[in-house]
Amino acid sequence: MARCSPAAGPSSAELAATAIFVGGSDVAAAEAVFARVRATFFGPVRVGVLLDPSGANTTAAAAVIAAARHLPCAAGGEGVVLGGTGPVGQRVARLLARRGVAVTLVSRDAGRAAATVAGIRRAVPGVAIEPAGLAEVVAAGADGALARAQLVVAAGAAGACLLTAEQRRALAATVCIDLNAVPPAGIEGIAPTDKARADGAALLYGALGVGSTKMKIHRAAIARLFAADAPALDADELLALGDTL
Ligand SMILES: NC(=O)c1ccc[n+]([C@@H]2O[C@H](COP(=O)([O-])OP(=O)(O)OC[C@H]3O[C@@H](n4cnc5c(N)ncnc54)[C@H](OP(=O)(O)O)[C@@H]3O)[C@@H](O)[C@H]2O)c1
């Protein structure tokens, strides 16, 4: 019987047929596992690794791709991410900021928004991103970040309504995306199935409208995992992959 010798290690055929998916619902723990996995590889002993706990990375990448279909996100635009402290919102904010969008990251608690923004600035120095409290942003009206934004993404918890229909209609935003699929909507008046549905000057996306792109990115990521260069796929790499689809 053939025996695997620990000294010999895995064969290149075994490595080529192996990949690691880091999922789960504890995003911080998943990130730690992802980092540990990458640090454990050495020389040619490495395999593809995908980080997508709670679907946060693929969902965030899909939301940014939906927005980019209608907005030249690369430079100069403004975006607001409601529910920006959660796993999905943080990633949407980080991806947009890295693409040159001036982002306002919103939480019900301004201190939590500030702590999240500090983390993003550490991860991606030099990006334009500011924290804000939900109540202040809504109350600021025509002078505030919400009124200036071309893009508003709601990434609040399932079933948490963050903007009323009236507040949404008062926005000048070209694209409004609600990633919450559980009623009531995160932005009242956006249905989960909306996919670039026009309402006045705005184009609306719901969670399922973004979900088909999310699934395409997920499938492409699984295929990419087995490539010879053994990629490590975090949010940025998934967005780049999504751009090619
Ligand atoms: N389409 C998909 O495939 C897909 C995949 C993953 C997630 N999602 C959806 O994307 C959204 C974001 O996911 P997530 O995992 O990042 O969400 P989450 O962590 O559950 O919540 C995001 C943020 O919402 C705020 N929040 C929590 N409870 C709230 C409440 N009762 N009222 C108002 N705000 C509240 C919190 O921010 P503050 O406390 O700082 O305000 C929290 O950080 C969810 O609706 C989720 O269902 C969709």
Which residues contact ligand 1 via a Cβ below 6 A? 54-56, 59, 83, 85-89, 107-109, 112, 155-158, 160, 179-181, 207, 210-211, 214
> Which atom of ligand 1 is nearest the CA belonging to 116?
40
Instruction: Give 11 Cα–ligand 1 centroid separation in angstroms.
Output: 43
Q: What are phi and psi of 175, to 5 degrees?
A: -130, 130
pTM for the whole thing?
A: 0.93
Residue 8 pLDDT > 70: no
Fold (CATH) for 12-54+213-243: Rossmann fold (3.40.50)
Residue 110 near residue 104 (C-beta atoms within 8 A): no
Instruction: Give 3 Cα–ligand 1 centroid separation in angstroms.
Output: 49
State the pLDDT at residue 1. Answer: 37
The arithmetic mean of pLDDT across residues 104-129, rounded, is: 97
Residue 27 pLDDT > 60: yes
Domain 56-211 has CATH 3.40.50.720: yes
Confidence of residue 142 (pLDDT cuts 50, 70, 90): confident
Residue 75 pLDDT > 90: no
* Same CATH fold assignment for domains 12-54+213-243 and 56-211: yes
Q: In this structure, how many other beta carbons lie within 10 angstroms of the beta carbon of residue 12?
A: 11
State the pLDDT at residue 42. Answer: 92
Q: Which residues pair with 105 in a beta bridge?
A: 81, 131
Q: Where are the domains of the chain?
A: 12-54+213-243, 56-211
> Which atom of ligand 1 is nearest the CA belonging to 210?
1
d(Cα 99, Cα 105) in Å, to the nearest integer?
15
